[in-house]
Amino acid sequence: MRLAGRHRRRGSRRSAARHETLDRRRLLKAALALIDRDGPQRFSIRRLANELGVTPMAVYNHVSSKADLLEGIANAAIEGATYPSPHGDWRRVLRGWFQALRRACLDHPGAIPLIESAERLPAAVFRPMETTLSALQQVGFGVEDALRAYFLLVTFTLGQASYQIKEWGRGIDAGSAVKENRISGTTFPAVTQAAMFHDWDFDMSFEFGLSIILTGLEARIPSRSRSDGRERSRR
Amino acid sequence: MRLAGRHRRRGSRRSAARHETLDRRRLLKAALALIDRDGPQRFSIRRLANELGVTPMAVYNHVSSKADLLEGIANAAIEGATYPSPHGDWRRVLRGWFQALRRACLDHPGAIPLIESAERLPAAVFRPMETTLSALQQVGFGVEDALRAYFLLVTFTLGQASYQIKEWGRGIDAGSAVKENRISGTTFPAVTQAAMFHDWDFDMSFEFGLSIILTGLEARIPSRSRSDGRERSRR
DNA sequence: ACCTGAACACCGTTCAAGT
DNA sequence: ACCTGAACACCGTTCAAGT
């Protein structure tokens, strides 16, 4: 269980050094905007510096390396999520929170590859993680199963968003993929048939998967009261 | 629905030009070995050329660009999967096939980031895709729901493997993450508790998620005979 | 058909120096 | 505490040239 976080701020024991963090935020905000505009492929420290009208090395005053910078951008993207209430029926809570997480990802398409390529999950996933674990444990799940369920939900959500984003790269061609790849329709008939959906509804696909997961989880609730679980004591 | 494939071979209408494809395979095989050994971070065309005792530009005789090369490596990794029989109970088939897909990914940890970063899914996923769609349609699912279920399964499987691989990067620290990120245990109690699992069993986590998904799918089977479905006619 | 070697336009990052 | 400018060790990719 390792998660990425910001750098431990050094010095400045008084007055909170507000300018330092503010500048880092401005930097990350500009970087996120740049990466959403031009795509992660074209992003570089030198371009970011140029965009800010500053020398490349000035960036290193707020960031320790490019990897740190990319992690910061990925985190900033997820941090922008606006979640609904964490209280009430657990299925509603999980559905709403992972919908919100997905929405935040789709709002920053350029940052999604950074979330994947980061060697740690951004620290901003702590919030949906906490809500998920808490909701599932309240309903009777053990700590380990709750954690497993969280991994299921988060990998599905991020993976789905990632796949959706890639469609943005090139045209919306579809059946052509089958021909391009010289797939003989006889050996892959179902794939060929599926390739005909050239206007795939990713929202519905996500909702379908989410429903499947929630249904599966509901059937797994340990013992009593598998309906709403509002009345269950915690732990 | 877009998937990546190899380059359409040009010319050589007779005798199959076996040397050309053989060399490309050797190149990809060497690249895959190199990326598994040194990690995707250190990989470059120049290093690969050096490993092969050849000039960097020689690589471009078998590959059109670095992106094409990386896609080829990712595809080669997945292509190595050995799948069980596609016949029999649909839950057994799906479980076995996605276990095999996951195994192939974990056998080539360095290639997993390439699978994610590729702008198309490797063409080698056609095989598990075909099997999944076929099995689910035989059991009564419509084409679209079968495709949605496939996306659920594949994003979960790849995402889970990806997360597991990242643990390989640094040490196996765990609770330290909580302190590193300055998470107040009071605001994230469940996350703090979960961070105590420093020897997380990813196999069990994957099996849990897979079971949840299969249970959820089973509950979604359209109408009659939701047990095995061997006797159902297709379409 | 395949490989070479030089060159071009970029990278991330260091270092010493300025204020 | 923050920024600069030059330099270093790398990149992917082009081009003309060899066989």
Q: Is the pLDDT of residue B6 over 80?
A: no
C-alpha distance from A30 to closest chain B C-alpha (Å):
23
From B152, B163, B146, B166, select the one nearest B220 (Cα to Cα).
B146
Q: B101 or B225: whose pLDDT is higher?
A: B101
The pLDDT score that the predictor gives to residue A222 is 87
When pLDDT is averaged across residues A159-181 and rounded to a whole number, the result is 65
Backbone conformation region of residue B15, classed left if phi is above 0, alpha if psi is from -120 to 50, else beta? left
A3 φ/ψ angles, rounded to the nearest 5 degrees = -135, 150
- Measure, in angstroms, how far nucleotide C5 C1' is from residue B50 CA: 15
Alpha carbon distance B1, B14 (integer Å): 33
Instruction: State which residue of chain A sits closest to B143, comparing Cα positions.
Output: A194
Q: Find the nucleotide nearest B45 (Cα to C1′).
A: D12
Band (pLDDT 50/70/90 cuts) for residue A141 is very high
Which residues of chain B between 40 and 99 are close to nucleic strand C, CB under 7 A?
A: 54-55, 57-58, 61-62
Which of A59-63, B121-125, B163-167, B172-176 has the highest mean predicted lDDT (pLDDT)?
A: A59-63
Alpha carbon distance B132, A184 (integer Å): 18
**Tell me: the pLDDT tens digits for B187-226?**
889 998 888 887 889 999 999 999 999 999 999 998 765 4
The pLDDT score that the predictor gives to residue B198 is 78
Band (pLDDT 50/70/90 cuts) for residue A228 is very low
| Number of helices (H), then strands (E), in chain B | 10, 0
Tokens 């951008």 found at: A73
Q: Is the pLDDT of residue B90 over 50?
A: yes
Q: Is the pLDDT of residue A159 over 60?
A: yes
Is B23's CB less than 7 Å from nucleic acid strand C? yes
**Tell me: the pLDDT tens digits for A179-222?**
555 566 678 899 988 888 878 899 999 999 999 999 999 999 98
Interface contact flag, A220 B215, Cβ < 8 Å? yes
| Number of helices (H), then strands (E), in chain A | 10, 0
Q: Provide the whole-model pTM.
A: 0.87
Band (pLDDT 50/70/90 cuts) for residue A119 is confident
Interface contact flag, B5 A134, Cβ < 8 Å? no
Interface contact flag, A152 B220, Cβ < 8 Å? no
Instruction: State which residue of chain B sits closest to A67, comparing Cα positions.
Output: B41
Q: B74 or A198: whose pLDDT is higher?
A: B74
User: For residue B78, how many C-alpha atoms fall within 13 Å in the half-sphere facing its CB?
Assistant: 28
Interface contact flag, A156 B155, Cβ < 8 Å? yes
Percentage of chain B beyond pLDDT 70 is 78
Give Cα separations from A146 to A131, A232, B193 (angstroms).
11, 16, 11
Mean pLDDT of all residues in chain A? 84
Q: A68 or A22: whose pLDDT is higher?
A: A68
Chain B residues with beta carbon closer than 8 angstroms to that of A217: 212, 216
Chain A residues with beta carbon closer than 8 angstroms to that of B146: 190, 194
Give Cα separations from A222 to A130, A145, A146, A152, B106 (angstroms).
20, 10, 11, 18, 31
Spatial contact of B39 and B77, defined as CB atoms under 8 Å apart = no
Q: Is the pLDDT of residue A7 over 50?
A: no
Q: Is the pLDDT of residue A19 over 50?
A: no
